[in-house]
Chain A
Amino acid sequence: MIIVTGASRGLGKAITERLTERGEHVIGLVRSTDGLEIEGIECDVSDYSSVKKAARIVKKMGEPVEAFINAAGVASMNLAVTTDESTVQKLIQTNLVGTIYCCQLFAPIMLRQKHGSFINFSTIAVALALKGESVYAASKAGVEAFSRTFAREMADFNVRVNCIAPGPIRTDLLRGITDAQIEKITSQQIIQKQFEKSDVCDLVELLMDRRASSLSGQTLNIGGV
């Protein structure tokens, strides 16, 4: 079984579709299962008790969890000085705290089975220190730091933890970003082009693969920095 948060849209949806196509049993953790085309559990990742409830449901299913993909996230592109308090709270609570809740509450399932892979999501904005993404980047830098340390804590149990840090991928999160702004970002990558959702899906498959068993605590920046 593979669990994907934020499976109803954006990268989460693309990853879910890719994994379903290859015959995996995918469960989506989503705020609402209305219209969801795969098996889903309603869960608000920013709410501890909601994540705990979802973990309990999954544990009762009794099926091994091969991978847990933390794709749920929110974005807001603003200068720090023009970001209001509620947006700051929402970014940190969903992107960072939500990832931590999912990892800590689903980890016991993987610890018990002594294998598994967590794939968390950062952003290339962390490595590039992109202007106008300070709070968003801070929330994702937290995810990277958490993932590195969490990877060490899980290693003795053969559970791997890695991060994917995409650049500007065409999803709802990029609403309102112009082509010129995207080009300005991609020009700072080693491979200076805009990557697609499918490239992210490829990396997810790579990190899940047992042949990637030597990789843990890493952040893979798409396009390179």
Chain B
Amino acid sequence: MKIEIAKELVIQTIESALEGKSEVKEEMQLIGGVALLDSMKLVEVCLALEDLADDHGFEFDWTSEAAMSKTRSMFRSVASLAEEFSKQSES
């Protein structure tokens, strides 16, 4: 899956989890002090991305080291989550 498509899907998914209350931008942080989502919303986003991955014929693993690592976490930003989503679609 091309990164542009992954970004679009991830942004749509996050906006849907936020019920359209915020505009989602690529550079927005997903975890940490100024995180866009609370931990429960983040779980909802991950479950929704799992479903999208199923629809696109791959498995999205959000419990991996890449997900949890403080420095390399896929949840650093909207863009990094989209990058990981795209990467996993090709592996």
Contact = CB atoms under 8 A, between A and B. Distances in A.
A105 B40 CA distance: 16
A152 B90 CA distance: 36
B47 interface: yes
Contact of A108 (B39, B47, B59): B47
Contacts of B91: none
A112 B47 contact: yes
A100 B43 CA distance: 18
Nearest to A105: B63
Contacts of A104: 63
B50 interface: yes
Contact of B63 (A108, A112, A156): A108
Interface residues of B, number: 8
Contacts of A105: 63
Nearest to B64: A52
A104 B50 CA distance: 16
B13 to A, nearest CB: 14
Contacts of A112: 47, 50
Nearest to A155: B40
A111 interface: yes
Interface string B40-66: 100100110010000000010001000
A157 B42 CA distance: 13
Contacts of B43: 108, 111, 157
B50 A156 contact: no
Interface of B: 39-40, 43, 46-47, 50, 59, 63
13 contacts: A52-B63, A56-B59, A105-B63, A108-B43, A108-B46, A108-B47, A108-B50, A111-B43, A112-B47, A112-B50, A153-B39, A157-B40, A157-B43
Given A56-B59, A108-B43, 15 more contacts: A52-B63, A104-B63, A105-B63, A108-B46, A108-B47, A108-B50, A108-B63, A111-B43, A111-B47, A112-B47, A112-B50, A153-B39, A156-B40, A157-B40, A157-B43
Interface of A: 52, 56, 104-105, 108, 111-112, 153, 156-157
